[in-house]
Structure 1
Amino acid sequence: MDLIDQAAASDLRPLLRGPSRRILPVLVLPLVLVGSCAAGAWVWANLEDLVETPESRDVASTMSLSLEDRASLFEIKWAQQKTDDEIAELNRRIDAQRDALKEILDQITILTSRIDSLQSSTPVPSASEPPLSPPRAVSTRKRFGRSKPRGPVSVGGAPVIAEPKTAEP
């Protein structure tokens, strides 16, 4: 019985496996060939557009323009380049000013920390000692030795000469 089962099993395997292995390469190979041929034809037809650079497009488009239009286009491109250069210079200046401001901020931070450390290290007067009287404010007029004008003064600040008083009738 084993021989019959083996013979039956061996007869079915080639029938089941044989056609599926043969059909796969026959169907896939032509599809790959047709697809690659179509892609090659598309690339060949559009090769000019793929290889063309933006500069060559600009040259081709400017050739069709009149002489005045080309001159105007040249002036516009020159102005754009000049503006780009000016913007680059302004950006460099802005960066330099940012660096300077950062240095100033660092210096302010250092000075602030020094002030804080000096204030914290200053001894606080005790309650038993009398507080020092604050110094009196010195007026700016006394410091510079200016004197206050006496008598009537005009609106402009010049002294007014008083008129002699007349007797009333």
Structure 2
Amino acid sequence: MMDVVAEANASELPRILHKSSRRSSWILVLLVFFGLCAAAACVWTNMETILARSQVLGPAPMHGLSPEVREALLEVRSEQQRASDVIAELNRNIGAQQADLKRMTDQIEALTAKIESLQSSLAAASAPPVSSPPAAQSASKLAKRAVQPSKPEGPISVGGAPLIPEPGSGQH
């Protein structure tokens, strides 16, 4: 048997024919790959139609299934329905909360505008008038300046020298 293999290897067949099985396998792999890619692209472009058809058909018939499998499938379907009901309720709650948030935001903006207008009117009202004082007030100020304080009685310190009390004054 080894002689037959050795004779085939030693024959004068071209090298291309010796490697033809390797090339044909690569070509076959590439053809299968491109075929799968084309099928995936076809499914991807028609995904909406495929999903619509599967929803129209409804659940698959359960005639050939065992009772345990049927019960499990019914339980799964009921849980899916409950989950979708919960999700719908959560979406409604989120919508209501967003509407409340928008309403409160609008109220806060209105209150902020009112506060700013009150602060600006308060600042304008508290600013002192720039007009000149009346003539009656300026005359009284001049009269107060004209009155000189009375001279103190008793000893006066000159230049920070200590005061010596007089002998009959009663101070120590």
Q: TM-score w.r.t. structure 1 length?
A: 0.42
Q: TM-score w.r.t. structure 2 length?
A: 0.41
User: Greater CA radius of gyration, 1 or 2?
Assistant: 2
